[in-house]
């Protein structure tokens, strides 16, 4: 029983290390790319969709699906990318209600030099684990989330520090 507080402290230390790594990487992305994590992920998604489906009519909904965020949230993020001159919005002549997104020349240049987001590295390494180990990690993290009363919190699969996705992109 004497070891139990030590184990709990080691779990808390590991959680803190994860939180700090996310914060450090977010700051790195911001300084390297000049973008928030959500902006980087949306810019990356637009570029990847365009590469995969040349001449695709990229919509906010498509980007939202790619980054697993609501269309309303992505729309606010895209507003910032448009203001920064990285993305353009264009209404289609055939259907004026449909707004399509594309990278500007500056956006394409930025897309081609984007640093790798932490979640991409994590997903790649996680996929290399055995199915049993992945399942064990998921079960353990879900249990930790429950122990911290965090299971009811809405969270996108986007690693970023402190604030929620909607708040962070207002900065």
| Distance from C-alpha of 137 to C-alpha of 149, rounded to nearest angstrom | 18
CATH (one of 3.20.20.140, 3.10.129.10, 1.10.10.10, 3.40.630.30) for 4-168: 1.10.10.10
> With DSSP H G I counted as helix, E B as strand and the rest as coil, what are the percentages for the chain, rounded to 5?
60, 5, 30
Radius of gyration of the chain (CA): 19
Res 78: pLDDT: 96
Could you list the mean pLDDT of each consecutive 10-residue stretch along the chain, which spans 171 residues?
78 93 88 88 93 84 91 94 95 76 94 89 96 97 93 75 49 39
Residues 6 or more apart whose CB falls under 8 angstroms from that of 25 comprise 117, 118, 159
Res 162: pLDDT: 58
Res 11: pLDDT: 92
Residue 21 and residue 60 in contact, taking contact as beta carbons nearer than 8 Å:
no
User: What would the two tokens of residue 24 be?
Assistant: 């450090």
Res 3: pLDDT: 66
pTM recorded for the entire structure? 0.76
Length reported for the chain: 171
The three-state DSSP-derived secondary structure of 106-162 is HHHHHHHCCCCCHHHHHHHHHHCCCHHHHHHHHHHHHHHHHHCCCCCCCCCCCCCCC
């Amino acid at each position: 029983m004497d070891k139990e507080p030590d184990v709990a402290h080691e779990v808390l230390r590991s959680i803190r290390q994860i939180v700090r790594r996310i914060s450090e990487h977010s700051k790195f992305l911001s300084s390297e790319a000049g973008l928030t994590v959500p902006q980087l992920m949306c810019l990356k998604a637009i570029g990847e969709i365009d590469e995969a489906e040349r001449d695709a009519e990229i919509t906010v909904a498509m980007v939202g699906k790619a980054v697993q965020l609501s269309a309303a949230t992505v729309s606010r993020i895209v507003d910032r990318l448009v203001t920064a001159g990285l993305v353009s919005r264009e209404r289609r002549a055939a259907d004026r209600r449909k707004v399509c997104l594309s990278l500007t020349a500056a956006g394409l240049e930025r897309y081609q030099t984007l640093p790798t987001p932490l979640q991409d590295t994590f997903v790649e390494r996680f996929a290399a684990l055995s199915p049993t180990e992945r399942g064990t990690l998921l079960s353990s993290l879900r249990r930790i989330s429950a122990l911290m009363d965090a299971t009811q919190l809405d969270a996108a699969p986007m690693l970023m520090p402190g604030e929620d996705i909607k708040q962070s992109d207002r900065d």
